[in-house]
Structure 1
Amino acid sequence: MFLKTLIIISSITCINCKSHIITGPTWKNEIKKCASGGGDERSYTFELKTLDSIGLNYSDINRSTSVVAHGRMELYTKGTGLLKEPTIPLTDYSEENNYKIFSHSWVESARLGWAYQEGRIGLSVKIHKDGFIELKNYVYAGSWGSITCAESRAYVQKIEIIN
């Protein structure tokens, strides 16, 4: 609910903004850990498009730019059940000499007696000064002392840059 409220507030405060959409194949990443299997992670980097191809310049991108990942993002633990989020705003912004990054991490955990499970999704869009755009898709699942599984699934179908 918090993420949806944040998107609504962002869209209200941005009167003359344009939405630039990057689509392609679904950029998939998922992981599942069962029983007392410990924790494991997977991270993939996908090359998307260029700023030119979506009608933007590097100088157009700044802290007031909004970046939103759309798709099928799901976390599951026995304690939380299946949690779904169709949109994740990438609200954390950082800037270096040659790139700008928009990112967000979604973490859920549950403790049931002595059992503990955790799922994480981390998404970041890195915009390089030369115009190339990358998506880093990170998932983590961990299960300790449990007879069930923890799962993290991030199927990103499009990236929206609002400027």
Structure 2
Amino acid sequence: MNPLNEKIEALGKGLGAAQVGFADLSGLPDGLNLGYPGAVSVVVRLSKGILAQMDDAPTATYFSHYRIVNRLIDEITLRVALALEEGGAMAVAVPASQSLPSVKGENPYRGLFAHKTAAVIAGMGWIGKSALFIHRDYGPAVRLGTVLTDAPLDIVAAPGKSECGSCQACVNP
């Protein structure tokens, strides 16, 4: 593995990421990659105990957990971006949860970059029938972060392919 990949993976995991992956964004349509050919994708697993407390709707404890995990992701991606920049690359840490002002007729909840795009291209999972990212080990119980970069990272993973098959669990409550 490329020493830069190893350094970034160790940094991300050392800060609390469950997995760090690398994505080649050069094949995305113009503008979607914001001019960056690659990305570092960060996965943080959600607490099983907190998720188990939910029945029909998120709990107050879940909302707190969600905010804490987003802060953790933002710290991990900022530190990864700064490490990449120290090595001479350009990098942008995309906020874990950000809604940009909507343009008339657009989705009002869109962000700067769709984290699940980088995670799928990095081979860490797929998009389920519910449109959620499904991690190959943790299912949908994850939050994602992304660092867009021009760093010379090795991309060794193939994009994730759906393993949902005929399962309808996420669309039929």
TM-score normalised according to structure 2 size: 0.27
**Rg: which structure is higher?**
1
Q: Which has the higher contact order (CA 8 A, sep 6+)?
A: 1
Tell me which protein shows more helix as a share of its residues.
2
TM-score normalised according to structure 1 size: 0.28
